[in-house]
Structure 1
Amino acid sequence: MALFKSNVSTTSSFCRTTSWLMPILKKSHIMSANTAPNLHDPARRLRIIKHRKSDDIREYGPFFYAGGTNGADLVAQYCENKGWKRIFDNNRGDYIFKWSEYKMVSNYQNFRPGRQILNQIPNNRILTTKGGLCSSLKEYERIAIKYSKGVKAVKLDEFFPETYRIDVKTERQTFFDVFRDGQIWICKPSNLQEGRGIFLLRSREDLSVFRAKLESVADNPITKPSQYNSIIHRVVQRYVVRPLLLDGRKFDVRSYFLIACTSPYMAFFHHGYAKSTCNMYDIYSDDLTSHLTNQFIQKKNPRYNDMKEDTIWSMERLNDYINERYMKVKHLPKDWVFTVFAKRMQEIMTTCFNIAKAKLDCKLGFFDLMGCDFIIDQNFKVWLLEMNANPSLQRHCSVLRTVIPQLVSETLDLVIEIFKKSSKGALILPIQSQKDFVLIYSGCRKDLVARAIRAERVSLTIVKQPSQLNPRVAKRLPKKPVRKQSATMSLSDQAAVERKPVQKAVSLLSHGQLPVVAQLQSLCCTGDKVKTNPLSRSQPACSKEWNQLQTSVSNALMVTAPIVPAFSRKFGIIPQKSKSLDCSLLSK
């Protein structure tokens, strides 16, 4: 009875303390009069009030944003170890690093290249969707065959199973003509992950049902705008009926492809893990858990909880298994997984990247981590199944708890190091943070000096004599023709020529647009054109401008340029009798 009384008192006190929320909730239209919850029920009230983390505007950066549930905790831990402050508002633009699970238009509209880092390239769908990858590969094959000119072109049937896009009318009709009884085709949504919406086509009856659904929506103007969510936006892929098995179970390999930078392009390969099914492989089974190795599909299997640890193999375990079972039987080299197989995956990734790199958005700060699924058939031929954006970073077994944190940490190390070097104009190679990743494409050349992308602040080091320039660059410098002055020039024309460089230099000094040396050089170079000394005090037409210039230049040199480099030969034409500004500065 005492316990009941204490509960009643707690409930009444809770209602009194939360009664002030009612007008706020009604005003913001969070709940209407008909659906307003009863505040006298504490359990229901606690479900309505949710704790939402907000940003503290009093904090100072640098800031980072890590949203979503796919690996965001690993990213947040990494950034916090660097001393960065986490923000929770996705619309804020004062971040230096942003990890967003889903692509949003606002992320790219307010992006500042060279100052911010953002994952997921905006138009990566040409690689990371089934339809985009299929179209890119077919276009590449068509162009390569047309312009190969005797050189062996890459053929898709060497690494990519036969695939057709259902939303393209010609490819859809080609698939209907190619399909035969006894064949198995797998139908996938073009831009869905986690094994959603996948089914198999085995017979003419299955094809007839599928074709009827397609025809009902293909020419329907109502469903056409939303075709990405309809049955028509799919691909069909020829099923690999004789895959290599792990203890009788089907498996494929998840590897990672990292575009660490897009300006210049830097692409890496990383080993992942092998994922297998729970059931024994049966080609005639209608259970999708026997055909799809995706962990989200395998969780539906009643045996998953008991076999969870055995469905994910490390690459070392896979290598030992193949060495023991197939090295002598198939005459494979030792450590086939880390030699032949790894090299073949890198070649396929490089081919796909070369196809798409000209179409990807290139801004300094974009990076993308993709998951690539490969399958091996019984002849040890490697096939690329698909490439996925935002690959799963879940850690539900011991192998993933080892692989995923190391993968995320080294990914961020590479991205940040390359970003810093590229933004400063430094040489990118060698990369100090590279450990397990393998560099498979580099857009930078070692023999070229990197240039800074930002030249907003002008320094004295920018002004160089022709002898100090790189000989390669000096050859490419355009030579501007020198306009000769006419022999007849009046005194008013001479005064105008003398006054013009002085006024120009004074205006530039006041705004800080040019270094002092460049201003002096622009002043003294007028001596070639006019046979008078524009810096002499004896010219009455510019006495006020001269005094202003002398004071401004002296103060600027005392603050910004304690050491003045040597002048060019053009300064030799200044008469020694008149005390010019450059002589007085050098004497000091």
Structure 2
Amino acid sequence: MEKGKVTYCTDLEKSVIISNFERRGWIQVGPEDEWNFYWSFTQNCRTIFSIENGYRMNDNQIINHFPNHYELSRKDLLVKNIKRYRKELEREGNPVAEKTDVTLPNGQTVTRYMHLDFIPVTYVLPADYNMFVEEYRKSPQSTWIMKPCGKSQGAGIFLINKLSKLKKWSREAKAPFNAQFTNKETYVISRYIDNPLLIGGKKFDLRLYVLVTSFRPLKAYLFQHGFCRFCTVKYDTSVTELDNMYVHLTNVSVQKHGGDYNSLHGGKMSVQNLRLYLQGTRGRSVTEKLFDDIQWLIVHSLKAVAPVMANDRHSFECYGYDIIIDDVLKPWLVEVNASPSLQSTTHTDRILKYKLIDNIVSVVVPPDGIPDARWNKVPTVEALGDFDVLIDEELIEREDTTLRNSRFSRGKP
């Protein structure tokens, strides 16, 4: 590499990426050439990390995914990891895993985690079918949402409120599935959050960007400019609207096909405006608690996958977190995306995504601007830009040590 010249490679011909790298004076090369910074598709990243490939990255190479990022972004694995994390904390007697009895609207009493109840009750199908049926029978009128584990952008999702509908789907799905796949596709089925917070009568979810530069120690940052994505049709829980995805799914890839889609604002509202709206309608303290709860949820979902994540020093990752807020201002983690869309649907969107990429590069690249996997990954305050530190276990550890040492020295006669 020519001294001071950084080469980059990307699988996404997105202008928000290319214009960012060009502005830094970086030079584009192909994946076979010598690159320093690779913004890759998840699939290509897997190939690079595969043992069969035999590719070894050098110190001046970094890439935008962890080898097994799917532990967080595959719906079934995320649920499995969170369930395991809760159980481990419970065994240790950690107060974070405390449980309490909760009375549901139908009068039924259930035991829930006090602090770790941030994913809806979820089962993986077909493996957990019997457990799901048992849970379903406790409150037979409830609505559940089915999602294929390996798909994104709202593909293949549907709602059910009768077991017969699931059985019918299972019968119909068997033939085509077995023809297409050797192993039957897995689905997750989750209790549908049917009391979402509505604004203007419409359901929305939050898309937040979380940058992880290391899983052990955990270092994660939250981008300040998240946004709400709204449905184009007013929310309606009636059975007749159960199949209307414009009512239930907030994915832009679904909503943009609706007749009421507004391409000017793209059905989006900034997190800052959401905060102001909630402060005005619900009050400051509950709004602050909601945003604290959201940060708590993100940190603990990352802690849940940290032990199983291949913490490669060449890797960083920007995850797209999808969160739904219910009408009592409780946040629920819906899913995590390993390749959040960099498609700009509006002018504001384009500015936001350009800034996101710019800030990511500033955080993951050392101060001298040359990618280095040996770097200690401690960005300056200026380099953070619009990222806030969510958690930095290394700094926590360092502060603890300093505190212990200062106490020890104070204790000297």
TM-score between both structures, scaled by the size of structure 1:
0.58
Q: How does 1:526-541 map to 2 (within 5 A)?
A: none
Q: Counterparts of 2:375 and 2:257 in 1: how far apart (Å)?
A: 51
Residue 217 of structure 1 deviates from its aligned partner by 8.5
Q: Counterparts of 1:138 and 1:408 in 2: how far apart (Å)?
A: 32
SS class of match (1:432):
helix
Runs of at least 5 residues in structure 2 that lack an aligned partner in the other structure: 100-112, 399-404, 406-413
| Corresponding residue of 2:276 | 320
SS class of match (1:179):
helix
Residue 299 of structure 1 deviates from its aligned partner by 1.5
CA contact (8 A) 1:422 1:428 kept: no
Q: Does 1:192 align with 2:151?
A: yes
Q: How does 1:55-454 map to 2 (within 5 A)?
A: 62-69=6-13, 72-87=14-29, 89-92=30-33, 94-104=34-44, 105-108=46-49, 109-148=54-93, 152-153=97-98, 155=113, 158-168=117-127, 171-180=128-137, 181-213=140-172, 225-227=182-184, 230=185, 233-261=186-214, 265-271=218-224, 272-284=226-238, 285=241, 286-304=243-261, 306=262, 308-309=264-265, 311-324=267-280, 326-327=281-282, 332-333=283-284, 337=287, 339-417=288-366, 428=378, 430-445=380-395
Q: Counterparts of 2:126 and 2:180 in 1: how far apart (Å)?
A: 12
Larger Rg: 1
SS class of match (1:343):
helix
Q: Counterparts of 2:377 and 2:41 in 1: how far apart (Å)?
A: 31
1:64 and 1:310, CA in 2 relative to 1: closer, same or farther beyond 3 A?
closer
AA in 2 matched with 1:121: F
AA in 2 matched with 1:282: D
Percent identity, aligned pairs only?
Answer: 23
Residue 428 of structure 1 deviates from its aligned partner by 2.5
| Corresponding residue of 1:536 | none
SS class of match (1:283):
coil
Normalized per residue, the structure richer in helix is 1
Runs of at least 5 residues in structure 1 that lack an aligned partner in the other structure: 1-57, 449-471, 473-588
Residue 423 of structure 1 deviates from its aligned partner by 5.0
* Structure with the larger RCO, 1 or 2 (CA within 8 Å, 6+ apart): 2
CA contact (8 A) 1:279 1:290 kept: yes
SS class of match (1:404):
helix
Deviations 1:541-580 (A, max 9, x none): xxxxxxxxxxxxxxxxxxxxxxxxxxxxxxxxxxxxxxxx
Q: Counterparts of 2:325 and 2:39 in 1: how far apart (Å)?
A: 33
1:131 and 1:150, CA in 2 relative to 1: closer, same or farther beyond 3 A?
closer
CA contact (8 A) 2:320 2:336 kept: yes
SS class of match (1:259):
strand
AA in 1 matched with 2:356: L
Deviations 1:316-353 (A, max 9, x none): 222232233x22xxxx326x65x333321111111011
Q: Counterparts of 2:320 and 2:377 in 1: how far apart (Å)?
A: 29
Normalized per residue, the structure richer in strand is 2
TM-score between both structures, scaled by the size of structure 2:
0.81
1:292 and 1:390, CA in 2 relative to 1: closer, same or farther beyond 3 A?
same
